[in-house]
């Protein structure tokens, strides 16, 4: 089974702190994603990466950065946490290419989420 793990389920930080959220997947997926999910706003893409050291901005990258030094690991960094970054953060991964007959055909597999509270 595909497994995506996130370093923490719950995290409480203070305004101005630097925050690291770690995500690891064990299925050799090329694509990795960071989303945040807020009530009434649904799922929003922050950043994604399609290869080691490659990164692309999603819909709401402001206030965030990412790092992908190894294929299995994708880190989300809040350089200076603010209260409006209180949210559920979800990491996902997927194969870069799926083929006909492949079980993994553009599905994304999610981690359990990190609920971050910034005070």
Partner 1 sequence: DAKTTQPTSMDCAEGRAANLPCNHSTISGNEYVYWYRQIHSQGPQYIIHGLKNNETNEMASLIITEDRKSSTLILPHATLRDTAVYYCIVRVGLSSGGGADGLTFGKGTHLIIQP
Residues at the interface with partner 1 (CB under 8 A):
4, 30-31, 33, 35, 42-43, 45, 48-50, 56, 58-59, 90-92, 94-99, 105-113, 115
CB of 48 to partner 1, least distance (A): 6
The burial of 53, by beta-carbon neighbours within 10 Å (0-12 exposed, 13-18 middle, 19 or more buried), is given as: exposed
Separation of alpha carbons 6 and 24, rounded Å? 6
Of 42 and 84, CB closest to partner 1: 42
Of 14 and 70, CB closest to partner 1: 70
Separation of alpha carbons 80 and 94, rounded Å? 29
């Amino acid at each position: 089974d595909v497994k995506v793990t996130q370093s923490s389920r719950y995290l409480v930080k203070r305004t101005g702190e630097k925050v690291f959220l770690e995500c690891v997947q064990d299925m050799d997926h090329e694509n990795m994603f960071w989303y945040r999910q807020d009530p009434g706003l649904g799922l929003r893409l922050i950043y994604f990466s399609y290869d080691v050291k490659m990164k692309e901005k999603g819909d709401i990258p402001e206030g965030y950065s990412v790092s992908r030094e190894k294929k299995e690991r994708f880190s989300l960094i809040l350089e200076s946490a603010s209260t409006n970054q209180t949210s559920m953060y979800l990491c996902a991964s997927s194969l870069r290419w799926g083929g006909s007959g492949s079980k993994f055909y553009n599905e994304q597999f999610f981690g359990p989420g990190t609920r971050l509270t910034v005070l």
